[in-house]
Amino acid sequence: MAIPVPQDLKPRGSGMSAPPRRAGSVRRTATLDFTWPDGLGGDTVLDGRARDLRTNGDGTASVLAEAALGVVSDPRRVIKEISSAPDLPPLQGLVGESAMSGFRRRLAGLATAEIVAATPLHLLLDDVPGATLVSGAAWQRWYGMKRYLEIKIDVKRRVMTDVCTGYQQGSSALHPDGTLRWRQDREPAVDIDAVDDELAWHGYASPADVTMRRARRIDVSVTGPVLHIDAFFQDSSTVERLRGPLGCTHLNDMMRALADVPGLAGQLPADANS
């Protein structure tokens, strides 16, 4: 079933990456940075980091949990290496498997406790297939569109009709045959560190070469019987900013992260509602 999209709906650009932290709140932030040390045809290296930060009623802050994830996958998106902090030995069962197709199904049998507890590490792991899917788009502006499509001829020929809301039948992002219109408008994405609060985000990687980053923030606070949720989700890169139809997994992945809210709410300070 197609999802109705208003004719006058226009992208409005990125929102604020991190508003001021509220007293009596919990903030989860996560970043996944993709790099290619040997170029587009080489391995993909993922550096994932996440943190849960509680802001107490008096404005002081404390770190509740931190996590890190490292993944190296080959050009076919098959995992060659994986490591995490906290260490999770069962993850080695993912080596030799796809970082995309079937990843979450296999993960369910290896990280049950992380999934149930909705930990920062699980958020990083759950994001691997979706972020991996869009990561290679960082190379479009590096090579230039013409050269990129010569290298990625399979992508140019791929029929994308009804893959997601942005690519549903009749979308202006598609040619009549269902292949992508690669010439689309772009807008700069907001820098996540463009905030005054040094605790707004965790410490994240800062690669110097071609990079694709997925950044997330989830703020949870409570007023009376009402639970407030403010979430930020962005894919960007050092050479291209992704928005609109190019982020074909974004709506789904944004909603998936909201499954972490009950766990975060359970860590609100005792005086959060005072």
| pLDDT value at 118 more than 90 | yes
pLDDT band at 55 (very low <50, low <70, confident <90, very high): very high
Asked whether the predicted pLDDT for residue 14 surpasses 50, the reply is: yes
Radius of gyration of the chain (CA): 19
Q: Which residues contact 241 (CB under 8 A, 6 or more apart)?
A: 186, 187, 188, 189
For residue 121, tell me if it sits in a domain: yes
pLDDT recorded at residue 199: 95
Predicted pLDDT of residue 69: 98
DSSP 176-217: TTS-B-------PPPPTT-SS-TTSS------SSSEEEEEEE
The 10s digit of each residue's pLDDT in 15-25 is 678 999 999 99
Residue 264 above 90 pLDDT? no
DSSP string, 110-155: T-HHHHHHT-HHHHHHHHHHHHHHHHGGGHHHHH-HHHHHHHTHHH
Residue appearing with tokens 């040619």: 175
**pLDDT (0 to 100) of residue 72:** 98
For the ranges 67-71, 243-247, 262-266, which has the lowest average pLDDT? Answer: 243-247
CA 235 – CA 240 distance, rounded (Å): 10
Residue numbers of the domain that contains 38: 25-136+189-265
Give domain status of residue 129, yes or no.
yes
Mean pLDDT of 96-117: 96
> Residue 129: what pLDDT?
93
Domain count, the chain: 1
Q: Is residue 51 part of a domain?
A: yes
pLDDT surpassing 60 at residue 270:
yes
Position 246 pLDDT exceeds 50: no
Answer yes or no: is 116 within a domain: yes
Least confident span in 61-70, 83-92, 143-152, 217-226: 143-152
Q: What is the pTM of this model?
A: 0.79
Checking if the pLDDT of 84 tops 60, the result is yes
Q: Which residue has the higher pLDDT, 2 or 191?
A: 191
Judged against a pLDDT cut of 60, whether residue 201 lies above it is answered with: yes
The answer to whether position 208 is within a domain reads yes
Confidence at 12, pLDDT banded by 50, 70, 90: low
**CB-CB contact of 53 with 264 (8 Å):** no
**Is residue 1 a part of any domain in this protein?**
no
93 within some domain: yes
> What average pLDDT does range 69-83 have in this prediction?
97
Is 29 a member of any domain?
yes
